[in-house]
Structure 1
Amino acid sequence: MSDAMLGKALLIRAVECDQSGRILEAQTLYQDGIAQLMSFVHSEPDEVKKKGFLTRIKEYIDRADAIKARVNGKMMLGEVVTHLSIEENDTGNDYDQIFGQYMTDKTIEIMLEEPYLTQNYQFQNLIRFLELAVTNCKHLKYIRLITKKDTNNLDQQKTNLGQIKADLERRQIAFYIKYEDTLHDRKIFLSNGYIIKIGRGLHFYKASNPMYSIGLTNYKYRKCLQTDVDIWRTTK
């Protein structure tokens, strides 16, 4: 498929997602579609045609910018509805117990900002979170993960995330991975209007000790590191 045809297909899907309220996925599709069309336009020798393409591309850029402003606005505005302080060595704090009630069948998109995904236990925490999302969010269609690159073993990180992406897509859930090396924030944005902010992100559990003991797979029995959790409800 040519750059122009691929770009057009991506932008058609972007508009469909935009109109159906799937703004996170629409944002990604707009960006990818615009990039494909720009690649095509640069090689277009006809200046009149090129000008027409650029005018059309500008319209899609404006749509993408409008979505970005909406997402950023939701991130900045809202009110805290729940605050939880988890103390050192506390138990009874599985993801489901902390914020499962906010992950509902009205959640069709999730954005997860988790800087650190390099160690096996961190990928296990990610899977545990995604299992909760798939279980609670019956109509989930799109997940965007923002993380840092593993500078020591990038190939393994990409392999692990590739396996997760393939598995989610078999379940008809699109999984988009974005690397931001300056990322520090840790939060979970749910399209039903809630934002979950955890001081340590997903990684506030201590290792089960000994390994083969209660808590290995059921996190409510795991001892925790000290952290704070704030649940925000965003404005519409």
Structure 2
Amino acid sequence: MSSALSGVEASAIGLLKRAVEQDGKGKAQEALVCYKEGIKLLMEVMRETTDQIRKQAFRQKIEQYMERAEKLKNHVDSQIEAGKYHQAIQITNDSTGHSYRSMFTPYLDELVTEVHIEDPYIRSNHQIYNLLRFCELLVMSVAPVKRIHLLTGRDENVHLQHNKLGELQRSLAEHSVEMIVSYSDTLHDRVVRFNNGWIIKIGRGLDYFKRTGQYSIGFCDMDLRRCHETTVDVFHSKHTKDG
């Protein structure tokens, strides 16, 4: 087996191990994403393998993972259909591995064209940077996002806040994404809604990362950034907020 193919196999094994771990923790959507990507890579390895014994072993593993993924998907679909889907995630103090990519990618698919963000604290510099990181995730994801609706509170220096958000709006427009900004003085809840039905409520909104040194691990890769304690509740609704 070539070194390149060995690398693909290692990636497949890593993804499928994570799928089983997430499955065991009750994180169905995360598990399904990992099953899908892991199976895809393992099938690639199987096709390129000439050893018939190894090929048969890969085929059996793929069938096992596909069977589990199908059962899990059917369970999630039935929960969604009954309006009973709810996943609770606890982010513990100082824990890592909770980047926006890790948190939101399982719910972004080809059906997502609009995103609604309600967060009263997109005001200070680091909070607007958090929004920027989230928007970068949307631009880079498989979702063909065309419009982002932001509802937030007014900063004391609303002119500066408006200028910073305006720069982000212009940058998003270069990627064919429109961002509509509205303000509320009474907003309290923090929620992200995708128009494929997924609703993610985070106790601290997008602002759950701790500060770190500019030259410290975790400054760039947010999966390595330590977090504040918060709760995340994931729901699904067929009745999403109108655009």
- TM-score class, shorter-chain normalisation, is 0.5 to 0.7
Partners of 1:133 and 1:160 in 2: CA distance: 19
The percentage of aligned residue pairs carrying the same residue is 36
Counterpart for residue 177 of structure 2: 173
SS in 1 for 2:116: strand
Q: Give the conservation status (yes or no) of the 8 Å contact 2:108–2:143.
A: no
The match for 1:132 among 116, 130, 137 is: 137
Q: What is the TM-score when the length of structure 2 is the normalising length?
A: 0.62
Q: Which runs of 5+ in 1 are unaligned?
A: 1-76
Q: Which runs of 5+ in 2 are unaligned?
A: 1-81
Partners of 2:121 and 2:192 in 1: CA distance: 14
Post-superposition shift, 1:82? 2.1
Q: Could you list the runs of 4 or more consecutive aligned residues of structure 1 that deviate by over 4 angstroms after TM superposition? A: none
Q: Give the conservation status (yes or no) of the 8 Å contact 2:124–2:155.
A: no
Counterpart for residue 90 of structure 2: 85
Matched residue type, 2:154: K
Is 1:200 the counterpart of 2:201? The answer is no
Counterpart for residue 194 of structure 2: 190
Counterpart for residue 98 of structure 1: 103
Partners of 1:100 and 1:198 in 2: CA distance: 15
Counterpart for residue 154 of structure 1: 158
Counterpart for residue 232 of structure 1: 235
**Distance of aligned partners of 1:185 and 1:78 in 2 relative to their CA distance in 1, 3 Å threshold:** farther
Task: List per-residue Cα deviations over 1:98-137 (Å, max 9, x = no partner).
Answer: 2211012210000000111221111111011111111114
SS in 1 for 2:123: coil
Is 1:142 the counterpart of 2:147? The answer is yes
Counterpart for residue 119 of structure 1: 124
Matched residue type, 1:179: Y
Structure having greater relative contact order (Cα 8 Å, sep ≥ 6): 1
Q: Give the conservation status (yes or no) of the 8 Å contact 1:93–1:219.
A: yes
Report the number of matched residues: 158
Partners of 2:85 and 2:112 in 1: CA distance: 19
Q: What is the TM-score when the length of structure 1 is the normalising length?
A: 0.64
Partners of 1:176 and 1:235 in 2: CA distance: 23
Aligned positions of 1:203-214 closer than 5 A: 203-208=207-212, 210-214=213-217
